[in-house]
């Protein structure tokens, strides 16, 4: 008897598809490594909220949030962008979203759980037709 297949996430369709589309816009708007689905929504079905992190290189993070320092959770620009994007993602998906920008060093040092890239596009080379 085989083990049950593990799910990639427990968000469910079509909400995860709406989140994919919305995160693509974020990836286009900011320099960084992209959006990642993290936390309980990729681990279990009884998640409380859907955690999305946009991970940026440390220098890019410092350039976008120059006054943030080590305690960026109190930086007015970080707070405004984080809350605004969380609210937008919640509105377009119907999900309780916890969105945050994070510098790469912090994300790698403090968070060792799974990360699933979200909002990326895979494209065919120019001139290749669909079959």
> Which of 17-26, 75-84, 104-113 has the least mean pLDDT?
104-113
DSSP letter for each residue of the chain: -PPPPPPS-SS-TTHHHHHHHHHHHHHHHS-SSEEEEEGGGGT-TT-SSEEEEEEE-HHHHHHHSTT-TT-GGG-HHHHHHHHHHHHHHHHHH-S-EEEEEEEHHHHHHH--S-EEEES----PPTTPPP-
Cα end-to-end span (Å), the chain: 37
Question: What is residue 110's predicted lDDT score, i.e. its pLDDT?
Answer: 87
Q: What is the pLDDT of residues 26-42, one digit of tens each?
A: 999 999 999 999 999 99
In the structure, what pLDDT confidence band is assigned to residue 43 with cuts at 50, 70 and 90?
Answer: very high
**Top CATH class, 15-118:** alpha beta
Residue ranges covered by each domain of the chain: 15-118
How far apart are alpha carbons 2 and 130 in whole angstroms? Answer: 35
């Amino acid at each position: 008897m085989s083990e049950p297949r593990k799910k990639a996430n427990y968000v469910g369709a079509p909400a995860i598809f709406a989140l994919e589309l919305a995160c693509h816009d974020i990836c286009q708007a900011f320099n960084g490594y992209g959006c990642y689905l993290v936390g309980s929504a990729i681990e279990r079905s009884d998640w409380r909220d859907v955690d999305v992190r946009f991970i940026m290189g440390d220098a890019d993070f410092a350039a976008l949030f120059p006054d943030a320092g080590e305690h960026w959770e109190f930086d007015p620009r970080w707070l405004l962008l984080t809350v605004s994007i969380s609210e937008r993602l919640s509105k377009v998906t119907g999900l309780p979203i916890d969105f945050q920008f994070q510098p790469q060093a912090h994300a790698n040092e403090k968070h060792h759980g799974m990360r699933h890239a979200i909002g990326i596009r895979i494209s065919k080379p120019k001139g290749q037709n669909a079959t």
